[in-house]
Amino acid sequence: MSNRALIIVDVQNDFCPGGALAVEQGDRIIPVINQVAPRFDVVVATRDWHPADHVSFASSHEGKEEGETVQVGDLEQVLWPDHCVQDTAGARLHASLDLRPVNLILHKGTRRELDSYSGFLETDHRTSTGLAGYLRELGVSQVTVCGLATDYCVLFTALDSVDAGFSTRLLTDATRAIDVPEGNLEKAKTRMKEAGVTFLESAGLS
């Protein structure tokens, strides 16, 4: 049975330089990911796959600006520019990302009314993407997380991986952060460390 999985979070055109919600130097992590991915038993790539009127888009809320927070039911929703709209160039995984080692491409944030930062759970923290069950069926016990962005989708994927019972590691040289608001990256690192996520660089992979 397989026991080690790599989760590549949202390495999509819209999150890389030139994209609608670009992470600074987001594309620079791709060579590291390409180098390490073949060393894992299971490789999963997640991607945002939003409908055109998604709840996370500022354009879906009249009079609201990007960066504002609105209340959607019992959830707070940060508003972003339109990004990773289904079947658009921005939603595609970056062309430089080697998909040959990837066993599964998992779509998240596919429903209009619900966002999804984590690869495991939607933002209601109840609706599962099915990833935990998929990994368990393959006998995975250890998850290593990388991708974009450290202080949002990578953070919540790592936290939910711990909550799902997986030994969880963050590949620090294969992530980049938005750091908005300023200081968000340090807060994210603290949350992950307190949850039990192990930090390592690709050179330290065993």
Catalytically active residues are 10, 108, 153
Bridge partner list, 174: none
Cα 106 from Cα 128, distance rounded (Å): 12
Please state the φ and ψ torsions of residue 116, each to the nearest 5 degrees.
Answer: -155, 105
Cα 16 from Cα 51, distance rounded (Å): 20
Residue position matching structure tokens 């390592």: 200
Cα 67 from Cα 26, distance rounded (Å): 20
Question: By three-state DSSP, how is residue 27 classified?
Answer: helix
* Contacts with 163 (C-beta within 8 Å, 6 or more apart), sequence order: 120
Other residues' Cβ atoms within 10 Å of the Cβ of residue 192: 24
Cα 123 from Cα 101, distance rounded (Å): 28
Q: Which of 41, 44, 47, 45 is nearest to 141 (CA)?
A: 41
